Structure 1
């Protein structure tokens, strides 16, 4: 509290100084992201949101319900099936996905003046704080060439013993938008280190508090995980086109360049490494096996991907009104896992071809269909057919969005799911390809703050980690149904945001999911003196009880268990957000209900979430 009392006046002094008005014509910032291996652009708004700044941390933004180790930066898995990213060939990456800087999470810019952002968040009890500082700088050398850099640092001690996390990620990025030649590049590094405590030794220290400080509650093990990811990405495109006359007014005509054919090449190199270390050998009852006297396991995967494509642009084809793309992709992978003095190394290559048929112009009717098949190498036989179709329609006085999507795909399991050796776990098995079929659709009325997404997926030969925390393949079929409803209500200055998710798994012992997950956010919002935006509110997250997967530190995997149910416990937060010109600030009291309702506030078996604490954050934007 002393830190808050000192910091709040200081923050408002800074706000008054930095909140100087910049002429709007100098604050132009265009932002976009890359959505696939062909560098398809998806425009996004600049991250200067006035509302809900308090949920900008990676855990809250990932999903409304998550399994994690209780600390910012720790391994995480969404409890919502359709929020989970596609499995990585390097299975140890899956638990760190929301924290990584790579091409999937990179933002690219085009600015009139240099643009930078400094963001700082902190929270926690005395001497157990979590700190996160982020920095962004980007500028244009000219109207076509942009470059920039990002830094993101997390240091979170954690409320419980042997739980601290340290994370650093950084990137250099750039883009060039020429008449014929365009390019997008990214170099990113990630280094995440976290202690592994195996959860609290006695869950009654949480359910029936004995007066211990959280840091003094015994934990089950002392381990250490380190995950590193480096990525080099470069996409270049060259177009051949024509000059088409466009009438500006009655007296003048200008020539616009229209691309006809586009040639593209994407180079991507990923180097992924995971290490698990225990300073003292941990045996039963936590582990079933220990093959060596020391635990110092490392695994690595490097992947070099080259994709070449040629496309006929939709803008030129005025008769058939669609775009065509054909591509070929080659992938070379090198696998390594070390156990004490044992080193295993394997290299594999695969090649696939595919094509895309698309129509993205107009609002009424859009579609995109992709088909690809691996015909050579390790992944020969893999195939994917996916597509989406939809657009905007008028329904009375409202604009309605209706989109349908789906895919059929077959994928060979990761090499690490079939072959792995470490001090505590070893497996060598032949697994069949996983076959998935998914269909879904979204019906939305943006003007009514309404959205409903319904999806169903059938999984054949699904691979999961069983009660012994080793991979196992289910020989039958699993169906997953999900309905995700979002509806906001506005009454004067008050807003109630609602997100309700229903899930049904046909094999709950193989693929356990909570039936319902809820997020509600009630707040008051107003603007004072025409410049100061204030949001005061409270939010709650909740999901029904189920046999939530547990977590295995030695492999970094979430595995099934049927002993302890997790859930049926709300987490309530109260907060205040302020936005003044170029500065944002929030104050939040997290998990406020823990103060008067001590209960089983666990994220997973033996892994409690943080107790009640204060969190604050501030963000500055600079347009010069």
Structure 2
């Protein structure tokens, strides 16, 4: 191990044992046409390409190791027989997007602070088969399909540190190295913390009370045989997320007396906490008998546990509020509640696939059989001398499916179709056409309700829509047609799009937080526009969405949502590359859903309408050699003119704060 790696590990250890220790997530979604720290071939932003910043030199001053000698690929590339090795991204664009909401182009919302429960702004097509429905914290971890597998000529280290202001801190450490030319090993370690600015009690002298705390660890490996017939990809993923749950933050009656401070905001829940742990062991292997005939196998073992405790239950039934109490009722224990939900899944998929070419065209095909066996346990207040408060369920599910792809001779156009059927129940059909000018498709999905929608027993909620063999809720239907054009007009790139959804048997959580199924159908129409304009060193890029929902009583979506970023790049002192600008976000007013931490679900509310607002954030990104840095003023206009912006009902977005980040790549 080199001195640089010893120094790197020392820095990492220091940050992990300090109060400001944190984690940088692996998912960094792209702004329209923009760069990111994980994606694609790097582009130049005021630099000299992928090797900008120098490289390791040998005695003859030749550059040996750098971004071009460390490559990665995704499992989907191998699975679809189009394995591509991507170079490490060294661009400046987008590195200031340290917050998870920003990284997802504001298409998710949280409770105002890093690590709090997330939900998508727009409707998402559900997956088929039994799902838990517990997904509020899933995005804070590595996702199976985005785990990167490497092929390196030297040890590769990636370090990220973000000090987000107001106690919101993130750190990420990645290391990988080839054991030999065909076998690579590596790991990713992430840490994220957010301080509680509104504690129910005064913090003790042991330090600041945490609002959220997250650990995520992934160890990954990939191997291929000498003749490239056999390929193995595997990883183990552990997510450990803790959160202090406020329920709501009570505002003072006269907000003008508080101005831009937080001193008088108090939580409704004073003893509530949640803890989620996920473990995922994933293995993919394939054997190539012939290009046209390959055998593959995927094995997953997943374990998820969600524990919610409230040791001061009376605070959730406060009577001094001018609105309904936070909890709807209590069935057994009036002092405390301790809820546990456990989910275990073993999934095995085996299939055949292949590709063949004729007259410049190419065909891909897949056919598979997938078996899933899950166990689900729900219990509360065990040992509190209550009636039997637990239930268990399990099921074996069998899926059959097929996929077909046709690649046109121009190599830029392809058409794909996929069908999958859960025997006796769910169904999914998808078709898609992709070309240089147009992307269009259609999907039809009939999916079971989630496990938490079907049955739930707790101290405050109880419902049961489960028959002996199936749910009394009908299958949720989604018909989705979409299209997007890609138009280039000189220096302006435009991508107008259209999405149309027809939903049947839609399941939602009502104002009391209880699942209900709508018998009638309704539709969603969303138009969108992505653009990018570049002229010299100036760039403007953004997104805009306009959405109409035919039944706003059960699904609330802002009519307008927009993102805009203006940036300018230049060079200082012949070595310091700078990308500076402003970014803006806008949502129109709507009755956003409220969060219930007991069930980890967002539900309808009619009490408070979130006002429309424009959030502005100035930023500056820098690069010198292999080190990239950024400075950003997050939520710069929060509190100005006594205006406060809310990400969820009763939860303001964080006050303006200076955030700082550094990203360091090592290739030896």
Decide: shared fold, TM above 0.5: yes
Deviations 1:117-172 (A, max 9, x none): 010001224xxx11111000111122221121000001110433367000000000
Query: Partners in 1 of 2:155 and 2:403 — Cα distance?
Result: 37
Which of 227, 235, 238 is the aligned partner of 2:287? Answer: 238
1:20 Cα deviation after fit: 5.3
1:608 Cα deviation after fit: 0.8
Deviations 1:397-416 (A, max 9, x none): xxxx3111221111111222
Deviations 1:448-475 (A, max 9, x none): 4322232111110011111111111111
Using the size of structure 2 for normalisation, the TM-score is 0.81
Query: Partners in 2 of 1:511 and 1:298 — Cα distance?
Result: 28
Query: Partners in 2 of 1:64 and 1:411 — Cα distance?
Result: 27
Matched, 1:417 2:453: yes
Equivalent in the alignment of 1:437: 479
Distance 1:143 1:433, change over 3 A: same
Distance 1:291 1:212, change over 3 A: farther
Query: Partners in 2 of 1:92 and 1:542 — Cα distance?
Result: 29
Equivalent in the alignment of 1:169: 216
- 98-107 or 294-303, larger mean C-alpha shift: 98-107
Query: Partners in 1 of 2:376 and 2:583 — Cα distance?
Result: 44
Q: For 1:449-460, what aligned pairs fall within 5 Å after superposition?
A: 449-460=493-504
Equivalent in the alignment of 1:49: 91
Matched, 1:508 2:544: no
Equivalent in the alignment of 1:13: none
Which of 287, 295, 310 is the aligned partner of 1:278? Answer: 310
Distance 1:41 1:234, change over 3 A: farther
Equivalent in the alignment of 1:75: 117
Equivalent in the alignment of 2:343: 301
- 431-440 or 154-163, larger mean C-alpha shift: 154-163
Matched, 1:374 2:422: yes
Query: Partners in 1 of 2:237 and 2:293 — Cα distance?
Result: 31
Equivalent in the alignment of 1:267: 299
1:226 Cα deviation after fit: 0.6
Q: For 1:245-260, what aligned pairs fall within 5 Å after superposition?
A: 259-260=291-292
Query: Partners in 1 of 2:199 and 2:642 — Cα distance?
Result: 20
Distance 1:567 1:273, change over 3 A: same
Query: Partners in 2 of 1:112 and 1:326 — Cα distance?
Result: 36
3-state secondary structure, aligned to 1:98? helix
Matched, 1:527 2:568: no
Query: Partners in 1 of 2:592 and 2:628 — Cα distance?
Result: 36
Equivalent in the alignment of 2:329: 289
Which of 157, 160, 181 is the aligned partner of 2:230? Answer: 181
- The answer to whether the 8 Å contact 1:160/1:214 transfers is yes
Query: Partners in 1 of 2:585 and 2:213 — Cα distance?
Result: 26
Using the size of structure 1 for normalisation, the TM-score is 0.87
- The answer to whether the 8 Å contact 1:66/1:603 transfers is no
Equivalent in the alignment of 2:134: 93
Which of 508, 512, 519 is the aligned partner of 1:475? Answer: 519
Query: Partners in 1 of 2:80 and 2:137 — Cα distance?
Result: 23
Q: For 1:115-134, what aligned pairs fall within 5 Å after superposition?
A: 115-125=156-166, 129-134=167-172
Equivalent in the alignment of 2:603: 559
1:85 Cα deviation after fit: 7.4
Distance 1:505 1:41, change over 3 A: farther
Which of 238, 248, 257 is the aligned partner of 1:199? Answer: 248
Query: Partners in 1 of 2:104 and 2:499 — Cα distance?
Result: 19
Distance 1:450 1:143, change over 3 A: farther
Matched, 1:498 2:532: no
Matched, 1:402 2:402: no
Equivalent in the alignment of 1:398: none
3-state secondary structure, aligned to 1:514? coil
- The answer to whether the 8 Å contact 2:566/2:583 transfers is yes
- The answer to whether the 8 Å contact 1:314/1:359 transfers is no
3-state secondary structure, aligned to 1:53? coil
Deviations 1:482-504 (A, max 9, x none): 22211122233222222111111
- The answer to whether the 8 Å contact 1:413/1:434 transfers is yes
1:96 Cα deviation after fit: 1.6
1:78 Cα deviation after fit: 2.3
- The answer to whether the 8 Å contact 1:198/1:553 transfers is yes
1:216 Cα deviation after fit: 4.4
Which of 16, 21, 34 is the aligned partner of 2:55? Answer: 21
Distance 1:522 1:312, change over 3 A: closer
- The answer to whether the 8 Å contact 1:122/1:615 transfers is yes
1:314 Cα deviation after fit: 2.9
CA RMSD of aligned residues (A): 2.5
Q: Which contiguous aligned blocks of 4+ residues in structure 1 show a shift greater than 6 angstroms?
A: 39-42
Matched, 1:339 2:380: yes
Structure 1, unaligned stretches of length 5 or more? 1-6, 8-17, 242-258, 393-400
3-state secondary structure, aligned to 1:321? strand
More strand by share: 1
Q: Number of matched residues?
A: 573
1:360 Cα deviation after fit: 4.3
Query: Partners in 1 of 2:252 and 2:300 — Cα distance?
Result: 45
- 223-232 or 480-489, larger mean C-alpha shift: 480-489
Query: Partners in 1 of 2:126 and 2:101 — Cα distance?
Result: 14
- The answer to whether the 8 Å contact 1:155/1:167 transfers is yes
Query: Partners in 1 of 2:127 and 2:368 — Cα distance?
Result: 22
Structure 2, unaligned stretches of length 5 or more? 1-19, 21-51, 58-62, 201-209, 318-324, 383-388, 466-471
- The answer to whether the 8 Å contact 2:75/2:233 transfers is no
Distance 1:42 1:617, change over 3 A: farther
3-state secondary structure, aligned to 2:96? helix
Query: Partners in 2 of 1:232 and 1:94 — Cα distance?
Result: 18
1:86 Cα deviation after fit: 5.2
- The answer to whether the 8 Å contact 1:34/1:40 transfers is no
Distance 1:63 1:93, change over 3 A: farther
Query: Partners in 2 of 1:571 and 1:348 — Cα distance?
Result: 47
1:441 Cα deviation after fit: 1.4
